[in-house]
Structure 1
């Protein structure tokens, strides 16, 4: 009989220690306005319940196995990696270099021809 009384007292203390149902009913209207606050008549109004107390109430409700519908919607995660500019264009640079190296013998012949023509013009001027 004494153990039954202890269990009922422990149950009453546990329920009184975490009266999340009462708190949830009390702040239900405020929690539905947003997570951090809301706009009212063109001015930002923070919630009347602090973030610390809101987090504790949320934790108590979730530990009790109930649903917490007041969290904000989560955005879809990015699948595209950002990276750095040098990483993005390195392949393009290598491809461009390979293409230019194929054209290099023709470019060298054209350069030698221009230099030779310039040298001939200077010799003609000097005569």
Structure 2
């Protein structure tokens, strides 16, 4: 009988220790205004609930398996890496050079052909 009474007391104490449902209803409007505060009539207004209490309430809601919809949307991650422009340009130049080196035999053949054709035209012009 005593253990049943202790379980009842523990159950009510743990359920009522952090009544997040009541807090969520109470601060619903404040939480919807933002994480840190909001602008109203040209003046910055902090939230009616402190950041510590907001974080605790968020943790309780998430621990209970509910959704927390008051966090702002996260930005996309940066895809452009930081670094020096010189290094980036040098890498692009190396890639371009490697590509041109693959084409080099054909470029040389075209050059030799043009040079030979020019030489032939000059010889034809000299004989006429």
TM (norm. structure 2) is 0.67
- CA displacement, residues 74-107 of structure 1 (integer Å, 9 cap, x when unaligned): 112222223222211223565899xxxxxxxxxx
Q: Find the counterpart in structure 1 of residue 56 from structure 2.
A: 56
SS at match of 1:86: helix
Q: Find the counterpart in structure 2 of residue 72 from structure 1.
A: 72
**Number of residues of Structure 1 aligned to a counterpart in Structure 2:** 98
Superposition RMSD in Å: 2.2
- Which blocks of at least 5 consecutive residues in structure 1 are unaligned? 98-127
Q: Find the counterpart in structure 2 of residue 90 from structure 1.
A: 90
Whole-Å separation in 2 of the counterparts to 1:14 and 1:49: 23
Whole-Å separation in 1 of the counterparts to 2:7 and 2:89: 70
Q: Point out the more displaced range, 79-88 or 3-12.
A: 79-88
Q: Find the counterpart in structure 2 of residue 29 from structure 1.
A: 29
SS at match of 2:80: coil
Are 1:13 and 2:13 matched, yes or no? yes
Q: 1:49: Cα distance to partner? A: 0.8
- Which blocks of at least 5 consecutive residues in structure 2 are unaligned? 98-128
Dislocated runs of 4+, deviation >6 Å: none
Q: Find the counterpart in structure 2 of residue 4 from structure 1.
A: 4
TM (norm. structure 1) is 0.67
Q: 1:10: Cα distance to partner? A: 0.6
SS at match of 1:78: coil
